[in-house]
Each structure stands twice: as C-alpha cells, then as structure tokens.
Amino acid sequence: MNVDLAGQAAFVTGAARGIGEAIARAMAANGAMVVVADIDGPGAESVAASLPDAMALTLDIRDARAIDGALAATLARYGRLDILVNNAGVNTMAHRVHLDAFPTEEWDRIVDIDLRGTFLVSRALSRPMLEQGRGRIVNIASIVGLVPLRLQSPFVAAKAGVIHLTKSMALEFGPRGVLVNAIAPGSTLTEGTRKLFYGPDGSFSAQVRNLLDHIPLGRPAEVAEIAAAALFLADPENSYVNGHTMVVDGGWIAGYSM
Ligand SMILES: NC(=O)c1ccc[n+]([C@@H]2O[C@H](COP(=O)([O-])OP(=O)(O)OC[C@H]3O[C@@H](n4cnc5c(N)ncnc54)[C@H](O)[C@@H]3O)[C@@H](O)[C@H]2O)c1
C-alpha cells in the first residue's frame, strides 16, 4: 500500500515490536516522520534508529504526566502532529480462566493499558491536531471487541471499549477536522504469537488447526497487512471514513465456518 505522508508527523504507541513496529515502518516508508513510543525504551531506540527520520520515546501509556512530556518532545522535534496510532496493548497469557476466578490485579492491568491508556494518549495528543483542525487517529482494537472469545474477559471488554471510544471520539473530533477510526485485527503473526502458533519446524497443534479452520483465508495475518489498513485510515486522502472499525481478519468473523 502506498500513500503520501511526506511532511507529516506520526506518533505510534507500542512501536518497539509487532504490529506497532510494522505500522511505524510503513508510515516511515511512506514519507512520515515517526515517533516510536514504547514502554520498552531500548526496543523503541532500535526501531527508530533504522528509520530515516524517527525519534524514540520511552513511554508508559498509563502515565498521564509522561504522555504530556512525550507530546512536548514530539512538538519540540517536529513542530507538529498529524497522525496518532494507539497500538500499545496487552492480553492475559498467565490467567486463561473463567470470570469467576479472574484475579482483580490482572483485570486492572489489562483494562488500564488497553482502554484507559488509549484514552489518556488520545486526550493529550488530539490537542495539537484539533488546534490545527486536521488529523487522523487510528486505534488498534481486536476482533474480540466485536465477537468475544472465552477466557480473556478483560481483553474482550477493553477492546469493546476501544471500539466505542473510537466512535465517541469520532463524534466529537470529526466536526473539528480529526477523523478517528479503529482496526480490529484477527490473529496476527508477531514474534510473540508466532511461537504460540507454530513449532520450530513449522508444525502446529490441533487447537491451532481448529482456529485456522475458522479463518476463510486459512492463515493468521502478517503485521504488514494490519499496517496497510492503518496507512489507509491515516492517509489524508481518507477524507470520509470516520468512526469506523475496519476488521482485518481474513474473514474470520464474517460468519460461522462449518
Ligand atoms: N497480534 C495479534 O494477534 C493481535 C490481534 C488483535 C489485536 N492485537 C492488538 O494489536 C496491538 C499490538 O499487538 P502485538 O501483537 O503487536 O503486541 P506485542 O506484544 O508484540 O507488542 C506490544 C507493544 O506494546 C508495548 N507496550 C505494552 N504495554 C505498554 C505500555 N503500558 N505503554 C507503552 N507501550 C506498551 C510493548 O512493549 C510492545 O512493544 C495490541 O493493542 C493488541 O491488543 C493484536
């Protein structure tokens, strides 16, 4: 996917690896100046160092004061902000249990990062975009925010929240020139999820086979396929899609596969 983002500054959270890294790379490849923000500072540094015009920031999106500092650093370096991608997010791996046994601390951790963090970053970073009357915000949700899976209730609830937060922001910011949309990825191969899917020899378990059988395209997404959707939604040429959740899941939730 090719768009023209020359002269635009993009801020991507959780950009040290995975989907966020792919989005940061795609934005840079299409001409944007990119702020690579992540709680993993060295990871962010390493991604930023490989891009033509990028800045790394160590940022925990739960920290409102640190977010103000990140915005100030962005404006000091680039003098503008045109695109925000709220990508940083976590799911629960250690606590795949029913709701009646779900630990409060793990619920709080996930909702705090995935939903409240998206709110905090959006609140601060939307301001320069609203002032200039132009901008694009892309929130990375998940298909589980639309069609829940079992054993990950805080992630499901937080991502459903992100989808409605996106709509709420679209209502408020659209009239002020800032378009807000979400992407709902299905299973996407990253360094982390690849290990869950495939053994070292490329083999996969019956459980994974079952999951793949529910995806009409028969495979998980590559990160570049999620980044392509982010490019479209961030592109100034997208001038009328607002409040939308773009499902990028190979058709997984299009219907029930028998
Ligand atoms: N990979 C998938 O299958 C999949 C599917 C649906 C949705 N998603 C969503 O896509 C986004 C990216 O997922 P991924 O698979 O690339 O994850 P990942 O774990 O590979 O990367 C997430 C990044 O976010 C950073 N991060 C975590 N907590 C943070 C915090 N408090 N502040 C700042 N940065 C923080 C991590 O350091 C990491 O670099 C997430 O919002 C995730 O929920 C992923």
Q: What is the CATH number of the domain that holds 90?
A: 3.40.50.720
pLDDT at 258 over 80: no
Domain with 52 in it: 9-248
- Give the distance between the most distant pair of CA atoms in the chain: 55
Residue 254 domain-assigned? no
Contact 18, 190 (CB under 8 A): yes
Tens of pLDDT, residues 89-119: 999 888 889 999 999 999 999 999 999 999 9
- Cα separation, 145 vs 137, whole angstroms: 18
Q: Which helix (H) or strand (E) holds 188?
A: strand 188-189
Residue 255 domain-assigned? no
* pTM summary value: 0.98
pLDDT at 133 over 90: yes
pLDDT of residue 60: 99
Q: What is the mean pLDDT of residues 165-186?
A: 99
Phi, psi of 10 (to 5 degrees): -120, 140
Mean pLDDT across the chain = 96
Is any ligand 1 atom within 6 A of the Cβ of residue 161?
no
Residue 72 domain-assigned? yes
Is any ligand 1 atom within 6 A of the Cβ of residue 68?
no
User: Ligand 1 centroid to 175 CA: how many Å?
Assistant: 30
Q: How many domains does the chain have?
A: 1
Which ligand 1 atom sits nearest the alpha carbon of residue 17? 39
Residue 3 domain-assigned? no
Is any ligand 1 atom within 6 A of the Cβ of residue 38?
yes
Residue 132 domain-assigned? yes
Residue identifier of the C-alpha nearest atom 41 of ligand 1: 89
Q: Which residue has the higher pLDDT, 71 or 205?
A: 71
Residue 258 domain-assigned? no
Q: Look up residue 242 and give its DSSP letter.
A: -
Tens of pLDDT, residues 34-64: 999 999 999 999 999 999 999 999 999 999 9
Q: For residue 7, give the nearest of 33, 39, 29 by alpha carbon.
A: 33
Please compute Rg for the chain using Cα positions.
18
